[in-house]
Structure formats: C-alpha cells, structure tokens
Chains A and B, each alone.
Chain A
Amino acid sequence: MLAVLLVGVSLVAAGTGQLAIAPDEVLGSILHRVGITIWPLPSHPNGDSALWTIRFPRVAMAILVGAALAAAGMIMQAIFGNPLAEPGVVGVSSGAALGASACIVFGLNFLGDWTIAAAAFLAGLVATLLVYFVSRANGRTEVVTLVLTGIAVNAFAGAGLALFMFLADTQSREAIVFWQLGSLNGSRWQDVLVVLPVVVVGLVVAFALSRRFDLLSLGEKAARHLGVNVELLRIASIVLVALLTGAAVAFCGIIAFVGLVIPHLMRMIIGPKHLPLLIASTLGGSVLLVSADLVARTAVPMADLPIGMLTSLIGGPFFFWLLRRTRKKAGGWG
C-alpha cells in the first residue's frame, strides 16, 4: 500500500511545478525510455527534458534520502533502546554537515564526486560514536541523557559550521547555509548515483540485521543469551547509521525528524517487529520526503522553501508530544 502511495506521489511530484505535466504523461515519459509506448508523452515541447534533467533526479533523490533517514532513525532507536533517538536530534546530521562543509570551505576534492559524501560519512561516524558512548549506561540510553548529549553535539557542530561560515567566501557561505536548512534543490543525476549505492547497501545490511534488532530490544544480555553478538551488531549499526545519514546529508543538508516521525508512526500502525518496520519506514520516509519536497517547491510560487525547515515544522511538535508521552510513562525525570 505504501509502495503504491510512493509511486503515486512520485508521479504527481514529478509532474508538478512551473511546468505542469499530468501524471499519465510522466509515466508515459518513463515507459518510453524503456520502450513501452502505451501512455502519452508530455504534451509540452520541453516537458520530457524538464522531467529528465530536473524533476526526476530530484524525486529520485527525495526517495533515496527519505528512505535513508527513516532507516537510520529506526536503527538508532533499536540500538539505543530509545524511541527518541534520531540522526537529527542527537547531532549525527549536524556532525555530517560539518564534515561536508569542511570540504567546501577548504576546497577539498580528493575523491571527486564522492569527496563530500565521504567527509559527511566520516564526520557523521565520529558524531554517532561520540553520542553512543557518551549517552549510554547499562545497555540503554535514558531520554534525558540522549537529548542533552544531542544538545551538546549539535552545539559543537553548530559552532564549527559558524566558524566555517566566518572563514568562507560568499559562495561557500551560501552553500553552508543551504546545508543547515536542508534542500533537495539542484539534485543532479551524478549526485543520485553517489547516494544510490550507499543507500542500497545500507538498507540491505539493515534488512539482514533486523531480526537481531528484535532480540536486542530484550536487552543486551538477553540478546547475547539468544546467540546475538551484541558488540558486532552495535558496531555494524553505528557504521550503518553514519553511512545512511552521511549519504543523505552530503547532498541535501540537514533534514531533521524524518527518522523520528516515520519509524514511530509505522510502529504504531504495524507494531515493533523490525523487519516489517524497516520496510514500512523506508517506504514511508520516501513518501514523506517526496511530498515534503513537493510542498517545498510549490507552496510559494517561484521560490524553493528549505525542506529541512518543513520537516522540522512537523517534526518539532511531534517530538514534543512524544517527549511528553514518554515522560508520563517514565513517571517524570526529576
């Protein structure tokens, strides 16, 4: 059902914009490329090229990034044993953004197209490791500790970004601002080609680990008694989170709360089992981001709203509500 929704939203999203193209024409355009000609081509003379050079890479990017962020959020919640863990909240995203912007400011380009993604991954990995080892005690993370650690990491990364902005020239400065706000504007096929393999590999590994995540929710000891190598699972998951978040942040900046809202909603609908939850979360994350991006670029005519702003607008109150609910269950946090 989510998959159908995703296809539908993607077709509508690809067709909407300054140059409106009907969904069946969008589908026609895609199918023509693979040799099926039952549906009509876009009627507008520039329609086909607009779709393939601007819209499709952007929608593809939204699908990938949405899936990556939602999956990263779910994995973090599994290994932290805390439903409030999320790359944006705990500072993994801003850590990754710090790495990415360092590349821009210092003009680093040692890996070609992959440089920014690699830097985002490395910085994200450091941030994840830091949060993980600082915020955990006795096998799980208390909400207060997690949120406070997130504040600290976000503050540090924010300071770094501010420093880079100070050091940077005007052009780089704009790029950094773009990172902080998050946007899918200007996604190109070559970016999609960098993100695609990372996200696919990340998701495949996550699927393979999902049953172990179930066992981990019994607690570390109980999981070990059931044959799970907890240390290995933990390290694999941390790398996975950094990989998925890094890929997303490298080209789209900080898009917060996708990894919080989506897994949580899906868990309420289909339950906590991690395999179905992961499938639903990746699809749901894609749907959310494609729709959010659609709103971002069409809500205000001739302007592109930052998508990170939109997701935070929804995610912020949601996080607040979750926090209240969790607190009620935990009987206050002193």
Chain B
Amino acid sequence: MTGARYAAGAASPGAASAETTDAASAGVASVTAPALRVRGASVEIGGASILEDVSFDAAPGEVVALIGPNGAGKSTLLAVVTGDQATTGGEVEIAGRPLGAWSLKELGRRRAVLLQQNGVFFPFSVREVVEMGRAPWQGTPRDADDDRVVDESLALTETTRFQSRPLPSLSGGERARASLARILAQETGILLLDEPTAALDLRHQEDVLRIARNRARAGDCVVVVLHDLSLAAAYADRIVLIHDGRVVADGAPDAVLTGELLSRVYDLPVEVMRHPVTGTAIILPIRQPSAARVAEPGESSKETP
C-alpha cells in the first residue's frame, strides 16, 4: 500500500523534483525534506492578530502535534496550511511548492484534511462517504484500487461493521472514525488532523493516534492538533506549542513538555510526571486536595473554534 502511494506520489507533476531541490536548500535539522513548510505566517481577522510570524516544518515520517490553550491559534494555523485561511503575510509550501501554485485537484492527492466537523448533509452510507475520499484519484490509473483502499481504510478504523449505515445516524465517535477512514482512503502523503480524538473514548483515541503514527512510520507526514497533552507526549515525534498566535516551543516532547513552560502557557500550575515503565510524560494540573472535585482539567476541555 505504501509503496504504491509513494510511486504515484512522486509521479505527480513537479512534486518529486521540487522535493529534492527543497532538501538541498532547507536549513532545517530534519533528515528528509519537509513535506510541509510554514514561514512567518501571519493572520489578522478584523484587526485582531490571530497568528503572528509562525514558522514550522513537518517532514515525511514524523508526527507533529500542535498544542496550546483554547484560542491560541492551532486550528487557524492548520487552516493556513490547508488553504482555508488566507494569510496576511508569510509563506506556506507543500512538498516544496508554494500552496498557491497547486491546483485543488493536485492538492487533494497530496494532503488530506480531517476537520472537527464531520457531518454530511444527506444520508450517505459510511462506505459511500469513504469512497468520496477517492475522488481526487478519479480518472487516474489509481482509481482501479478504489475498492481495495476503501476496504482497508474501513478495516483500519474498525468501521467495516457499519459501512452500510447512513453516516448521520452514527454516534459522534463513530462518525469521527468514519471520517478518518475517508481521509486515509485519500492516500495522500500528508495528513492534517484537527482534533481527531475530540469525540472519542479512551480506546479509540489510542487507536486513532496509533493509526496516525503507523502512517508516519510508513513515510507519511502527519500534523495533528491535540488538546490532550499526555496523548501528544505519547504519540508525537515533535511538538509545536502555540500561545497567543506565536510558536513558543518546537521540539521533542521531552523538551517542550516541561512543567514550567506549560504552567506559564496554560496559566495553571501543571506538573509533568514520568510513567514508571515507559518513561513517557504524563501531564496533570496540580490540584489542591480540597479543590480536586471541582477542578476542571484544562487539557481535556474542548476548544470552540
């Protein structure tokens, strides 16, 4: 599956050569060329600055988590990368080519986006929705793979069981997984996921991020907006911490997830512990014993867009 994806990904016009030239010029400390490159992106909406001079890269093979408090600009940053949000300054490059130089169809073969809202207006079945993910490949030699890819995507997200049910009749979590299946069926080398775990229970949160990490191990570039810091610590290769529209930290989870930094950014005393076996960071707000019952854990609250 992965071999085929990369063969065809490289065959898409200009992408392969652009990537190699980019690798030469990129002064970034990543082994491979960035699949995604944001330089000095700024966004102003109604005079208010939402993003200010934001730069970050994401390379094939890595999971990059975008974290930060509500309203920090994570979703806006993701929207800048998807092209949904116009910038007032800065550059965005996908596979070495400026975002504006891509046609919509080519982009649809290169990057897939999972939004927070995943409804569908008419009662399409889950399978039909996942098949929609194949649309960018229509008319290319790869549309012969449609059925196989759709089957695999359904199986991977454990949605095969309700593939014939109408999507609007599913629960929020089931719908989110079906939408993830659609994104996977799109077979792009770049996955942009906006809070994919928000509606999910404990097991499916782990499943979704494991799928994302497996895709990265197979060579994809995965950028994921997350609220759950412990999840980010466990699954991300790199974490970009955003606060008030700026990048505050960008690095390995252990470097970014420190009690001191998080306490400052989230405006709440936070402590970082280590899992006794795996050594992964576990992030918890420091709760006073008496206040424990009323305290609301900041990292699990949902961001309103």
Contact = CB atoms under 8 A, between A and B. Distances in A.
A273 B104 contact: no
B142 to A, nearest CB: 14
Contact of B107 (A81, A82, A219, A227): A227
A281 to B, nearest CB: 13
A97 interface: no
Interface in B97-139: 103-109, 111-113, 115, 117-125, 128-129, 132-133, 135-136, 138
B104 A218 contact: no
Given A219-B115, A225-B113, A272 B123 contact: yes
B138 A221 contact: no
Interface stretch (A62-70, A109-117, A173-181, A209-217): A209-217
A215 B182 CA distance: 11
Contact size class for A? 20 to 34
A188 interface: no
B122 A217 contact: yes
Contacts of B133: 226
Contact of A82 (B121, B123, B124): B121
A271 B108 contact: no
Contacts of B82: 221, 225
Contacts of A272: 122-124, 128
A271 B168 CA distance: 13
Interface in A195-232: 211, 214-215, 217-219, 221-222, 224-229
B186 interface: yes
Interface in A239-289: 267, 271-273
A47 interface: no
Given A221-B84, A227-B108, A81 B121 contact: yes
Contacts of A228: 104, 135
A273 B128 contact: yes
A120 B186 CA distance: 43
Interface residues of B, number: 31
A280 to B, nearest CB: 14
Contact of B135 (A221, A226, A229, A271): A226
A221 B186 contact: no
B84 A224 contact: yes
A221 B136 contact: no
Contacts of A234: none
B123 A227 contact: no
A83 interface: yes
B105 A227 contact: yes
Nearest to A229: B104
A222 B115 contact: yes
Contacts of A214: 124, 128, 132, 135
B178 to A, nearest CB: 11
B121 A140 contact: yes
Contacts of A83: 121-122
Contacts of B129: 218
B121 A217 contact: yes
Nearest to A224: B104
A140 B122 CA distance: 12
Contact of A219 (B83, B117, B128, B138): B117
A227 B122 contact: no
Nearest to B84: A221
Interface in A96-155: 140
A217 B124 CA distance: 9
Nearest to A213: B122
A228 B125 CA distance: 21
Interface in B29-72: none
Contacts of A81: 121
Contacts of B117: 219
A226 B131 CA distance: 11
A221 B84 CA distance: 7
A226 B186 contact: yes
A228 B133 CA distance: 12
Contacts of A229: 104
Contacts of B138: 211
B138 to A, nearest CB: 7
A267 B122 contact: yes
Contacts of A215: 132, 135
20 contacts: A81-B121, A82-B121, A211-B138, A214-B132, A217-B120, A217-B124, A219-B119, A222-B113, A222-B115, A225-B107, A225-B108, A225-B111, A225-B113, A226-B132, A226-B135, A227-B136, A267-B123, A271-B123, A271-B125, A273-B124
Interface of A: 81-83, 140, 211, 214-215, 217-219, 221-222, 224-229, 267, 271-273
Chain A to chain B: the 3 pairs with minimum beta-carbon distance, closest first: A227-B108, A272-B122, A227-B105
Given A218-B119, A222-B118, 6 more contacts: A214-B128, A217-B120, A221-B84, A227-B103, A227-B109, A271-B128
